[in-house]
Structure 1
Amino acid sequence: MAFMKILVALGFLAILASLGSALFFMMRTGKDDQKRGQRMAWALALRVGLSILLFVCMLLAWKLGYIQPTGVPLE
Structure 2
Amino acid sequence: MKYLIGVAFVFIIGALAFAGVFMMRDGRDGKPKSGNMMRALAVRVGLSVLLFAIILFSYWMGWIQPTGIRTN
- TM tier, smaller: 0.7 to 0.9
Identify the structure with the greater helix proportion: 1
Instruction: Give the deviation of 1:28 after TM superposition.
Output: 1.4
- Residues 1-75 of structure 1 correspond to what in structure 2 (within 5 A)? 4-28=1-25, 30=28, 31-35=30-34, 38-73=35-70
Look up the equivalent residue of 2:40 and give its one-letter code: A
Look up the equivalent residue of 2:56 and give its one-letter code: L
What is the total number of aligned residue pairs between the two structures? 70
Look up the equivalent residue of 1:58 and give its one-letter code: I
Partners of 1:11 and 1:57 lie apart in 2 by: 11
Q: Which sections of structure 2, spanning at least 5 residues, go unmatched?
A: none
Look up the equivalent residue of 2:22 and give its one-letter code: F
Provide closer, same or farther for how the CA distance between residues 71 and 52 of structure 1 changes in structure 2, counting only shifts above 3 A. same
Instruction: Give the deviation of 1:55 after TM superposition.
Output: 0.2
SS of 2:33's equivalent in the other structure is: helix
- TM-score between both structures, scaled by the size of structure 1: 0.84
Look up the equivalent residue of 1:56 and give its one-letter code: A
Instruction: Give the deviation of 1:59 after TM superposition.
Output: 0.4
Instruction: Give the deviation of 1:72 after TM superposition.
Output: 2.1
Question: Once the two structures are aligned, what percentage of the paired residues are identical?
Answer: 43
